[in-house]
Structure 1
Amino acid sequence: MDRTDITLERMRTFIRIAERGSLSAVAREMGTGQSTVTRHLQELEGAVGAPLLNRTTRRVALTDEGSRYYAHCMQILRMVEQATEEIRELRRTPAGTIRVSCTAALGVLHITRLIFSFQERYPQIRVDLSLTDERIDLVKEGVDIALRLGPLADSSMKLRHLGSSSRLLVAAPSYLAAHGRPAVPEDLATHNVIRMSNIAGSEVIALRRLDGRHHSVAVDGRLRVDHGLAAREAFLNGQGIGPAHRWLVNDLIESGQLEVLLPDYDLSPVPFNMLIVPERSDVSRIRLLIEFVAGEATRLPGMKTTVATWS
């Protein structure tokens, strides 16, 4: 194997081909000819001694060896980028790009404003903000930081617990005028409840009375949605009642457009966490954003914060 053929440039070309699934698309992206892209790939495969991609007339796909090599290449390139950026940042003001992923509705209503404030403080830092409720592979997608609501599975990412998001039951006055107001949790079974299709267990609402007694009520409704902003619109338009994060509806409650139901009962709060790719956590601009978000999270409506902890 001629190790001189294993270059960062060829690794980058291989990664882009694997991600785009097309040599011609990568050639257009790089502003070069397809023959150059093909040559880079062939030289890398020759140096490695194994086929990295299966090529057809329509698309390319990773081989088993290619999948393993892709993961290693991603790690190597990120380490090179980090090392370079750390040296540069010793000699200049914070600059560069941070890639952030965030739960969609929270991102639209609140996190975007935090990003605006952060960039006012550090104008040379670029932020690529991706809003999705899907659980993504941070390394594969090139994300540095992810903000997530809800329990998390075991992960190789660094975890910073920011607090918990309080929830409450809400409905529009128009819905309550037409269908009545629930007086006890069991009344919810007779109401049209807006449910989240992407949240497990949304067919049951669990409440705890302030005296400690627990109630679990099976519910149903005509509308299920997979986005918090869609639920917000449904509540606002009198389509039903249901649980909502305080940050999702706080402005509508304060303006009287929504009302809080069963105030003597609590819904369980939802964990709010930050996931950080370990190899990126020591990059200075990323550390700056981590600390900024951790501090500003205390200002979000209904966010019950504790001292931010790492695990």
Structure 2
Amino acid sequence: MALPDYEAWAIFAAVARHGSFTAAAKELNLSKPTISKAITRLEQSLGTVLFHRTSRKISLSTAGRSLLPHAQQIAHDGETAMEAARDTTHLLRGQVRMAAPLSYGLSHLAPVIAGFMTKYPEITVDVQLSDARIDLVEEGFDLAVRIAALPDSSLRAIKLRRIERHFVAASAYLERRGKPEHPSQLSEHDCFIYSNLPTPEIWHLTGPTGATVSVQPKCRLRTNNGTLELASLIAGHGISNLPDFLIEEYLANGQLTRILHDWHFEPIDLNIVLPPSALRPARVNALVDHLRDKLR
């Protein structure tokens, strides 16, 4: 019985991740012909086409999409075994890919990553910042930092801390338009809507007695990034609700004022999210431990 072509499976995973033979060759430090021959060899052994090729691009075939998770697992297990061997020398190296929200990444994650790079000079870090939800396994990420009430899934989650969201406005706006005393009054005010909420146009709030209310705010600004709202908030153009890490500085210096103190959204958490497998390269565990220590 012939052994599986582990190298070809790992190369398949790399090509699928990059969508390019050239980029995969660069990452793996192999020649482009070697990459092409490995894919051809794997396709012949499987009796199916993995990629559709044109002069301009490649794309996964139906069979390729169905087989990709197996290739990713093979590549992952191989990297984990190599990392375990390196552990014996106490030298961690290689790349860790992580995703994080844009605003939080810029305001809080950046110095933490800098500290990690100082601590582990042989580990390279690929950080992708976006407020869009990404698929860790399909897109080849080792971990993600997420701010959300996580749905049940096969992903592993490590809760770091609770994130509080507060209603805020500038004093100039409140002096001009008045301060709302109940969420129902938000329909009469200019509000900023964060479009990545589950129901951005309808706000579901819980009050001091546990009573709930759903309101449809009057939209003056709609965006998928909370940081963008800050300049317009400070300029007195409306009311928004934002996570504590974005507004703590502006509350402290008086540029923004909290309102509707007793009303809040469903709680959300700051989480580290990991693929389902309990086996991870030691370099990934090192970053997880560093984030857990610094972001709590």
Report the TM-score when normalising by structure 1.
0.83
Q: What is the CA-CA distance between 1:106 and the residue it aligns to?
A: 1.2
**Aligned equivalent of 1:141, options 136, 139, 142:** 139
CA distance in 2, matches of 1:144, 1:34: 26
SS of equivalent residue, structure 1 residue 164:
strand
Q: What is the CA-CA distance between 1:67 and the residue it aligns to?
A: 1.8
Task: State the match for 1:268 in structure 2.
Answer: 266
Question: Amino acid of the residue matched to residue 47 of structure 1?
Answer: S
C-alpha offsets along residues 206-251 of structure 1, whole Å, 9 cap, x if unaligned?
4433344433322121210011211233322322101111111111
CA distance in 1, matches of 2:294, 2:180: 36
CA distance in 2, matches of 1:30, 1:61: 20
Task: State the match for 1:216 in structure 2.
Answer: 214
How many residues align? The count is 296
Extract unaligned runs of 5+ from structure 2: none
1:83 aligns with 2:47: no
Answer with 66-75 or 210-219: which moved more.
Answer: 210-219
SS of equivalent residue, structure 2 residue 190:
coil
Maintained 8 Å contact 2:80/2:279: no
**Aligned equivalent of 1:106, options 99, 104, 107:** 104
Maintained 8 Å contact 2:146/2:271: yes
Maintained 8 Å contact 1:167/1:268: no
**Aligned equivalent of 2:196, options 192, 198, 208:** 198
SS of equivalent residue, structure 2 residue 285:
helix
Question: Amino acid of the residue matched to residue 195 of structure 1?
Answer: I
Answer with 253-262 or 107-116: which moved more.
Answer: 107-116
SS of equivalent residue, structure 1 residue 156:
coil
CA distance in 1, matches of 2:139, 2:117: 23
**Could you say if the C-alpha distance between residues 7 and 95 of structure 1 is closer, same or farther in structure 2, counting changes exceeding 3 Å?**
closer
Question: Amino acid of the residue matched to residue 138 of structure 1?
Answer: L
Maintained 8 Å contact 2:251/2:258: yes
Task: State the match for 1:180 in structure 2.
Answer: 178
**Could you say if the C-alpha distance between residues 204 and 65 of structure 1 is closer, same or farther in structure 2, counting changes exceeding 3 Å?**
closer
Task: State the match for 1:70 in structure 2.
Answer: 68
1:158 aligns with 2:163: no
**Aligned equivalent of 2:247, options 249, 256, 270:** 249
Query: Mapping of 1:28-107 within 5 angstroms?
Result: 35-107=33-105
Q: What is the CA-CA distance between 1:200 and the residue it aligns to?
A: 2.2
Question: Amino acid of the residue matched to residue 222 of structure 1?
Answer: R
Q: What is the CA-CA distance between 1:122 and the residue it aligns to?
A: 3.2
CA distance in 2, matches of 1:26, 1:143: 16
Maintained 8 Å contact 1:175/1:240: yes
SS of equivalent residue, structure 1 residue 223:
strand
Task: State the match for 2:257 in structure 1.
Answer: 259
CA distance in 2, matches of 1:154, 1:93: 36
Task: State the match for 1:236 in structure 2.
Answer: 234
**Could you say if the C-alpha distance between residues 158 and 238 of structure 1 is closer, same or farther in structure 2, counting changes exceeding 3 Å?**
same
C-alpha offsets along residues 89-137 of structure 1, whole Å, 9 cap, x if unaligned?
1212333322211122111111222222333333333222111122222
**Could you say if the C-alpha distance between residues 264 and 46 of structure 1 is closer, same or farther in structure 2, counting changes exceeding 3 Å?**
closer
Q: What is the CA-CA distance between 1:3 and the residue it aligns to?
A: 4.5
Q: What is the CA-CA distance between 1:45 and the residue it aligns to?
A: 1.4
SS of equivalent residue, structure 1 residue 99:
strand
Maintained 8 Å contact 1:160/1:275: yes
Query: Mapping of 1:298-309 within 5 angstroms?
Result: 298=296
C-alpha offsets along residues 158-209 of structure 1, whole Å, 9 cap, x if unaligned?
1222232111100122322332222332221100110012212222334433
Maintained 8 Å contact 2:80/2:282: no
SS of equivalent residue, structure 1 residue 199:
coil
Maintained 8 Å contact 1:193/1:221: yes
Maintained 8 Å contact 1:148/1:274: yes
Answer with 236-245 or 173-182: which moved more.
Answer: 173-182
Question: Amino acid of the residue matched to residue 5 of structure 2?
Answer: I
Question: Amino acid of the residue matched to residue 164 of structure 1?
Answer: R
**Aligned equivalent of 1:124, options 115, 118, 122:** 122
SS of equivalent residue, structure 1 residue 194:
strand
